[in-house]
Amino acid sequence: MTTFDVEVPKFSRAAVLTKFNEPLEIRNLPVPELEHGALLVKIELATICGSDVHLWDGSNAAGNIDLPVIPGHEMVGRIVAFGEGARTDTAGDHLELGDRIVFTHGSCGRCHHCVVVGQPTLCQNRNWYIFSNCERPPYLVGAFSEYCYVFPTSGRIKVPDDVKSEWASAASCALRSVITSFERLGPVEPWETMVIQGAGPLGLFATAMAHHAGVGRIIVIGDPEERLQLARDWGATDTIAVSEYRDAESRVDAVRELTESNGAEIVMEFSGARTGFSEGLGMVRIGGRFVVVGQVGKHSVEINPTRITRDQISVLGSFSGGAAQYWKALQFLSRTKDKFDFDRMLSGRYHLDEVETAMKRMQSLEEIKPILLPTLSTD
């Protein structure tokens, strides 16, 4: 393999999850040999996703996770080594040592969903960051590490020069998921009203996208006030504070009041709240569209399916994103950077040995999108 002009070490420090809801261990893990099509990147920085928090606290719905694992799947890495045949990104751009890239989980490229349906996010044979055991090759399979292995089947997209690494990292989960959800939604019109459930990173990116796409009225539901203010600055015409409207029924009523009892043509659920699905369904106008993104927990809810049938409501699930959505997310950042202050979404900076503090602050809504540096606080 070809190496970068820095010496690639034999081991990489990583923050490793060995038991749920307990401190992560800092371990030295082997730097693997690269398969054909693989890359090795030095992590420039990672951002923490809500999924990382739910993995850490044990509430993630991914099934039986084979611990230990390295959390983290939002990251920007600089290429330090190439496997054979890995000199271009998925969009066809030539790659050089030192280039910044974002990269996807590894889909197999051979199954029905990869080949026939063209939806690699539905691949049942994926190699996952965040969920793959880190005691087996290729070891470096998460973002909370100094180095990371890019699977041969991972999509990889070069980061444009005018996109900050912090933005690109946040985009590599939150924004690409929003891109996917808008593609699932289909065309939007300036006369439509959209409700966005959730004012976290996904909800805020969705607000920016909806505003940029020309949606006429955007109602954002969430908390705390600083996030709602950011939503308003990014195009929300109305906001509903969960701290003021504390139960689902009152939030549905608030949306109905804002829409002359009609509800919204479009509701997009990014909250992950237990009541999010039934609540969002109650906000949809007759004949409207309901896109569900945030419901990935283990909980179940009771609904009246007659409402879907009688009112001809289109309910669409949306999950993750492929290399195309990563590319589009980076393009959105590049082309709208003067319209939206993406730095306002980013919050504190932490080191590998401070990651539990960052995740606890994210749990308590003190952080919107914490940044994790691949170093120790004592370095």
Task: Tell me the CA distances in angstroms from 47 to 87, 88, 142, 278, 347, one per residue in order.
Answer: 26, 25, 12, 30, 10
Report cis status (omega within 30 of 0) of the bond before 224.
yes
The band of 155, judged by pLDDT with boundaries at 50, 70 and 90, is very high
The band of 2, judged by pLDDT with boundaries at 50, 70 and 90, is very low
The band of 4, judged by pLDDT with boundaries at 50, 70 and 90, is low
Task: Tell me the CA distances in angstroms from 218 to 12, 57, 197, one per residue in order.
Answer: 45, 33, 11
Task: Tell me the CA distances in angstroms from 285 to 269, 274, 310, one per residue in order.
Answer: 15, 21, 12
| pLDDT more than 90, % of the chain | 88
Higher pLDDT, 61 or 172: 172
Please compute the mean of the pLDDT values over residues 144-157 and round it to a whole number. 97
pTM of the model: 0.95
> Distance between CA 137 and CA 379 in Å, rounded?
27
Look over the chain and give the mean of its residue pLDDT values, rounded to a whole number: 94
> Distance between CA 187 and CA 184 in Å, rounded?
9
Residue 64 is predicted with a pLDDT of 75
pLDDT of 58 above 90: no
pLDDT of 148 above 70: yes
> Distance between CA 292 and CA 274 in Å, rounded?
12
Bridge-based pairing state of the strands 264-269 and 193-197: parallel
Task: Tell me the CA distances in angstroms from 213 to 123, 182, 206, 341, one per residue in order.
Answer: 30, 10, 10, 17
Residue 65 is predicted with a pLDDT of 87
pLDDT of 11 above 70: yes
Domains along the chain with CATH numbers: 2-162+337-373 (3.90.180.10), 176-317 (3.40.50.720)
Lowest mean pLDDT among 58-67, 176-185, 245-254: 58-67
Task: Tell me the CA distances in angstroms from 16 to 39, 67, 104, 134, one per residue in order.
Answer: 21, 9, 20, 8
